[in-house]
Amino acid sequence: MRKTWHDKYLTRKKPAIEITKHKFADMPAGTKMVISTPAEIEKEVRKVPEGCELCMAELRDHIARKHHVQQACPITTGIFLRIASEAAIEDIIAGQKIDDVMPFWRIVKPDSTIGKKLACGQDFISQMRRLEGIPT
């Protein structure tokens, strides 16, 4: 049986701190970085006030500061944002109120790599951003 997004959400339980051995993404070798979790990503996204947005770089900065490291891993932050977003979409499909799910549209832009992949579709993200007065 295929894992649900909620199953994937629960897979990683604790953040991990690592030091890059080689240049990695936008980080030089020797960078102290945190590999977060979907739950931690959700907590940070839920802090973004209605009508406001946060870009991925700002999200990564918030998480890095929380762990007193230089960077948050760009790859896993994106992966975990998608997992948490898809879990929120599963909740919406199951009947949960929009106000009770993680407001991923405050981070995910419709035309972003993640936005293009989400099960809800780009139109849903655009609609939610418009309802909150966030540019699409």
What digits encode the pLDDT tens for the residues 38-49? 999 999 999 999
Query: Which residue range forms the structural domain that includes residue 71?
Result: 5-132
What's the confidence (pLDDT) of residue 131?
97
Q: Transcribe 81-114 into DSSP letters.
A: HHHHHHHHHHHHHTT--GGGS--GGGT--TTSHH
Cα angle value 15/119/133 (rounded, 5°)? 85
Q: Please give the radius of gyration of the chain, using alpha carbons only, rounded to the nearest integer.
A: 15
What's the confidence (pLDDT) of residue 136?
82
What's the confidence (pLDDT) of residue 25?
87
Domain total in the chain: 1
pTM value? 0.94
Higher per-residue pLDDT: 69 or 136: 69
Q: What is the CATH number of the domain that holds 56?
A: 1.10.10.10
pLDDT digits (tens, 9 = 90+) for 100-129: 999 999 999 999 999 999 999 999 999 999
Residue among 34, 40, 36 nearest 20 (CA): 34
